[in-house]
Amino acid sequence: MENELDRDADPPAAPPPTEATLLSELPVTALDTETTGLDPGRDRIVAIGAVRLHGRRLYPSRTFETLVRPGISIPASASAIHGIGDAMVAGAPGMAEIWPRLSPWLAGRVVLGHHVDFDLAMIGAAARRHGFSWTEPFALDTARLVAALDGSSPVDLDEAAQRHGVTLEGRHSALGDSLIAARVYLRLVPRLVERGVVTLGDAIRFQGRDAAPLQSFRAPAPHPTLGDQPALRRLDAFPYLHRIADVMSHPLLTIEPHRTLREAASVLTERGVSALVSLDGQQRPAGIMTERDIVRAVAGRGESALGSTVES
C-alpha cells in the first residue's frame, strides 16, 4: 500500500493534537482490544494491539502488542471470537505492569479504531481500577466515519474493509484489527478532504461526536459548576451533554421474538451497539434487549440460556 513506509521509518515528532490540527499532520495511534465481554465495569482486557500513523502514513513496524492477564476466567463465548483462552494469558503481564508501556502510545495522540469508544471505555476502566490517571483522548471511529461518508448505518470491520479494498489479515487479533482499521482510515482521508473535512475538529464533528473529549468539556454556566459543590460532582454529566441521536444507531436495530439470545449477542457484537428493540408477534416494538439482559440470563441459567428465545 502506497501509504505504508518501510520498516526503518519512524513517525515524525509532533505536538499534541488540537481541533485545528490538519489531518495531514495528525499523530495517530490505531488501537484495538480483545476482551472477556462487553461490559467495561465487569469485563477485562485480554489483548491490546496498536500501530502508529502520522497524517496519511502508516508505520507498520511501529507496533504495540501484548496479551493481558485479566484476573478472571475468559468465557468460552469470548474465546470463540478471538481465540484467547485462560492458558494463553496465565503467564502474561497484568494491566498494572502494562500501563507504563501503553500510556505513551495514547498520550498526545488521536486514538483511532473501529467502534473505538468501546476500546477506550475498557482501557479507561482498567486504568481507574489500578489507580492510574486517565483522561480520554481525542478519538476517531472508522465505523462512524464510513457511515457518515456512505450515508449508511455503522458497519462492522469486515464490511468497512471490503468497501475500501483492505485485506482482512489478522482479523480478530488486537494488532490485526488495529492494522485493518488504520488501513481503512487511510482510504477514508482523501474522501474526507473532498467533503471539506480537513482538521481533527472537522473529522470529529463529521463522525457525530463532540469535538472535545468529554472530560475536558466545560460549558459556561451562571449556576454552580461541578467543581463548586461536591454533591454535583457525583452526577453523570453525559446525558446533559449529548442528544439521543448522538448515541443511538439509526435506522433502529430490531430483533424478532423467535431469535435466540446467542443470535442477539452476535448482532450486538457485529454492529457495535449495546441494545436492540425486540419485536412482538405482530412485528411491533415490545421492549429493549440489552447486553446486560443477556449477561444476567447467562449468569442465572448458565450458557444454555443463550439458546432461549428473545420472547422467553
Quick: pLDDT tens for 252-283.
Answer: 678 888 888 888 888 888 777 778 888 877 77
Helix axes 291-301, 261-271, angle to 10 degrees: 140
Quick: pLDDT tens for 110-169.
Answer: 999 999 999 999 999 999 999 999 999 999 999 999 999 999 888 899 999 999 999 998
Report which residue type is found at 143: A
Same fold, 23-215 and 244-307: no
Report which residue type is found at 114: H
DSSP per position, 132-173: ----PPPEEEHHHHHHHHHTS----HHHHHHHTT---TTTTS
Q: Cα(131)–Cα(166) distance, rounded to whole angstroms?
A: 38
The pLDDT value given to residue 43: 96
Neighbours of 95 (CB within 10 A): 22
The pLDDT value given to residue 197: 96
Report which residue type is found at 238: F
Please answer whether residues 27 and 109 qualify as being in contact, where contact means their C-beta atoms are separated by less than 8 angstroms: yes
The pLDDT value given to residue 251: 60
Please answer whether residues 295 and 240 qualify as being in contact, where contact means their C-beta atoms are separated by less than 8 angstroms: no
- Alpha helix (H) ranges present in 12-85? 76-82
- Superfamily name and number for 23-215: Ribonuclease H-like superfamily/Ribonuclease H (3.30.420.10)
Please answer whether residues 179 and 190 qualify as being in contact, where contact means their C-beta atoms are separated by less than 8 angstroms: no
DSSP per position, 240-291: HH--HHHHS-SSPPEE-TTSBHHHHHHHHHHHT-SEEEEE-TTS-EEEEEEH
The pLDDT value given to residue 245: 52
Residue spans of the chain under pLDDT 50: 210-238, 240-242
Pairing relationship of beta strands 139-141 and 275-279 according to DSSP bridges: unpaired
Residues in the chain: 312
The pLDDT value given to residue 152: 86
Report which residue type is found at 41: G
Q: Cα(89)–Cα(94) distance, rounded to whole angstroms?
A: 9
Domain coordinates of the chain in residue numbers?
Answer: 23-215, 244-307
For residue 237, the SS3 value is coil
Please answer whether residues 51 and 175 qualify as being in contact, where contact means their C-beta atoms are separated by less than 8 angstroms: yes
Neighbours of 96 (CB within 10 A): 14
Residue 200 grid coordinates: 481533527
CATH architecture of the domain with range 244-307: Roll (3.10)
Pairing relationship of beta strands 110-113 and 275-279 according to DSSP bridges: unpaired
